[in-house]
């Protein structure tokens, strides 16, 4: 038996998934992403991406078929989220931050730049540069602080991004008025 999950963040990067899982690019309607999943981690507080229902919106991602033997790993990975039915794909779920984690990130719960790099690497591989543009345009909460951990990755599923990919991320962050802080600044402000 298997289940299907719509991956819209790091699950889009195939390097973060077991290699035998089938994944198909899809667009789902009625959702937007947001930096609304803060919580504790092994390295301090961090914020992850979540989704919220938004009529007329759409986001790109992967519809991933997950075997029963892998499902517990996915549930553990998505421990701050609850699975919700995805009507467009009967039987599939989308993970949204659980009520206790559904809040904006903050200085105490910033976004790791290597997490963004990982998501963008997946979007670039699957959807190309236009997919990266769509990711930034359909994600809310770019006011949440971002810490530059590229030299010492904190994000546990970090996938290296090429120099060209990093430049793409850096340029896109400027277009959404995001603020990137050094790791040292994070330790001073947290």
DSSP letters of 118-176?
Answer: HHHHHHHHHHHHHHHHHHHHTEE-TTS-EEE-TTS--STT-----HHHHHHHHHHHHHT
Report the DSSP pairing between strands 146-148 and 180-182: parallel
The percent of residues in the chain predicted with pLDDT above 90, rounded, is: 90
What is the average pLDDT across 127-138? 96
Whole-number pLDDT of residue 186: 62
Among 34, 28, 46, 30, residue whose Cα is nearest residue 9? 34
What is the total count of domains within the chain? 1
* pTM, entire model: 0.94
CA gap 47, 38 in Å, rounded: 4
Confidence of residue 183 (pLDDT cuts 50, 70, 90): confident
Q: How many helices (H) and strands (E) does the chain have?
A: 4, 9
Weakest mean pLDDT among 25-34, 37-46, 47-56, 138-147: 37-46
Q: What are the tens digits of pLDDT across the range 12-22?
A: 999 999 888 99
81: which residues sit within 8 A by CB, 6+ positions away? Answer: 37, 50, 95, 96, 97, 98, 101
What is the average pLDDT across 155-181? 95
User: Which CATH number covers residue 73?
Assistant: 3.10.490.10
Residue 161, number of CB atoms within 10 A of its CB? 22
What is the average pLDDT across 58-66? 97
Whole-number pLDDT of residue 189: 45
Domain that holds residue 13: 2-189
CA gap 80, 110 in Å, rounded: 16
What is the average pLDDT across 178-183? 93
pLDDT at 82 over 70: yes
Confidence of residue 157 (pLDDT cuts 50, 70, 90): very high
């Amino acid at each position: 038996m298997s289940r299907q999950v719509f991956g819209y963040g790091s699950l889009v990067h195939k390097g973060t998934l077991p290699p035998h899982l089938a994944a198909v690019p899809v667009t789902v309607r009625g959702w937007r992403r947001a930096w609304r999943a803060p919580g504790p981690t092994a390295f301090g507080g961090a914020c992850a991406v979540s989704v919220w229902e938004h009529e007329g919106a759409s986001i790109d991602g992967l519809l991933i078929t997950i075997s029963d033997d892998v499902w517990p790993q996915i549930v553990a990975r998505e421990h701050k989220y609850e699975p919700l039915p995805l009507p467009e794909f009967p039987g599939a779920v989308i993970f949204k931050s659980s009520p206790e984690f559904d809040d904006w990130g903050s200085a105490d719960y910033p976004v790791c730049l290597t997490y963004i790099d990982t998501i963008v690497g997946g979007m670039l591989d699957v959807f190309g540069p236009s997919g990266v543009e769509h990711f930034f345009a359909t994600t809310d909460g770019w006011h949440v602080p971002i810490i530059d951990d590229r030299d010492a990755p904190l994000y546990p599923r970090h996938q290296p991004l090429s120099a060209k990919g990093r430049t793409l991320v850096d340029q896109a962050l400027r277009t959404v008025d995001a603020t990137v802080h050094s790791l040292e600044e994070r330790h001073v402000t947290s």
